[in-house]
Structure 1
Amino acid sequence: MSGPLADPTLFRGLVAETVHPGAPKSGCYRLACVFLLLFERKGCLNLLAIQKTDTEGYPWRNQVALPGGHIDPEDPDALSACFRELHEELGIESHEVIFTGSMGHFQTINDRDLEVFSGFWKGDRAVSHRKKEISRVLNLPVQELMKTHIEKGYHGWIPDVHTLLYPVEDVTVWGVTARIVHHFLEMIHPLRNCLGP
């Protein structure tokens, strides 16, 4: 793989040049943050995701999500909170991540405002995960996500929550995570040929 999708420096430029969703004006949202982490495995670009536990009454039961969480009062800023959550959830240290910028704000149906940070994970190891909240770690192939994005006609518009679905193997990415993935795929769409056939 070549080009800006595999090069953190060039990808950082792509993130900086893209217009991302801004923070909501209303103050009724609870602040949170997630990491959109890319990594290469066997020559393919992947997105690191998690699946929440199958716990009855848990609002995010079985959902596919990006690693992250709430911003605590003691966190200096949202990025620091995101790195803290990444370490707590998956054991990934900040020095293992090449930070490439903020991809804006996305709101959930339960009044949370997520700031999405992007980066490249330099690790090539299995990660541990917080078993109380996470059932498993997922590697989502970006090429497969882009194929779905194009085949379902998502390019150029934002479908509603019931339409915007990205099935990958035995899971489906939906909700706010699907909207984040959609924004990411729209951002890299002009460079989709870098992903391969």
Structure 2
Amino acid sequence: MLTAPQTLLRDQLRRALSTPAAPSSDYDLVQAAPPAEVELRPAGVLAAFDRQGRLVLTKRASSLRHHPGQIALPGGKVDPGDADEVAAALREAHEEIGLDPAQVEILGSLPPHRTVTNFAMTPVLGLIRGEFTPRAEAGEVEEIFTVPFAHIADPASYRIERRLWRGDWRNYYVAPYGPYYIWGATARVLHALALRLAA
């Protein structure tokens, strides 16, 4: 059974998913075009909301090759055994935070997001049914935490910052919450969701 906050949230997210939107990219806020002729690797990430309607996020381990130490949605690349990006997102969420795929009600997916690390990352929206006790995967996840839906859904939570990256200045979205610096691809796809929720 879904809780009252989740039932309301389900309606809001379904309306947002019905709003047309184009794919996004880490290159959206820069002048230069993304590199051409690059084969993007498909990936899936899970934007799952718990019984209180809070989004589950992770802080990635500092030792990881891609996006070390960053705040992220659970997920990863599509493996040969995965049927699609949804299956990859559910598998990775099970591995990274101990979430049973059977507990997740999938609502749909946002358009894919192109990362600077050449992934085509598909955000999958879902609701967590029943009680869930997070369990961080050793070596992959440093911390698991939640963020209120009100913060994620408010376009005013987001701002644009910039930093020097590989010799060039790069602009990116941020949506800080307490001690957590949500930025980059995660903030970009959540900002896109916030705009659709506000439409």
Identify the residue that residue 94 of structure 1 maps to in structure 2. Answer: 101
- Indicate the RMSD between aligned Cα atoms, in angstroms: 2.9
Does the CA-based 8 Å contact 2:6-2:51 persist in structure 1?
A: no
Identify the residue that residue 18 of structure 1 maps to in structure 2. Answer: 19
Does the CA-based 8 Å contact 2:59-2:141 persist in structure 1?
A: yes
Once residues 13 and 70 of structure 1 are traced to their aligned partners in structure 2, the CA distance between those partners, rounded to angstroms, is: 25
Percent pairwise identity: 21
Gaps of 5+ in 2: 26-35, 163-169
Q: Paired residues, what number?
A: 180
Identify the residue that residue 29 of structure 2 maps to in structure 1. Answer: none
- Mean alpha-carbon deviation: is it higher for 168-177 or for 58-67? 58-67
Gaps of 5+ in 1: 191-197
User: Normalising by the residue count of structure 2, what TM-score does the alignment of the two structures yield?
Assistant: 0.77
Once residues 105 and 168 of structure 1 are traced to their aligned partners in structure 2, the CA distance between those partners, rounded to angstroms, is: 24
Q: Does 1:37 align with 2:48?
A: yes
Q: How does 1:170-181 map to 2 (within 5 A)?
A: 170-181=179-190
1:182 alignment partner AA: H
Once residues 171 and 28 of structure 1 are traced to their aligned partners in structure 2, the CA distance between those partners, rounded to angstroms, is: 32
Once residues 77 and 125 of structure 1 are traced to their aligned partners in structure 2, the CA distance between those partners, rounded to angstroms, is: 25
CA separation of 1:16/1:181 partners in 2, compared to 1, >3 Å: closer, same or farther?
closer
CA drift of 1:26 comes to 6.1
CA drift of 1:7 comes to 4.4
1:18 alignment partner AA: T
CA deviation map 1:20-41 (0-9, x unaligned):
3349996611111101111232
Q: What is the aligned counterpart of 2:198 among 175, 184, 189? A: 189
Q: What is the aligned counterpart of 2:79 among 67, 72, 94? A: 72
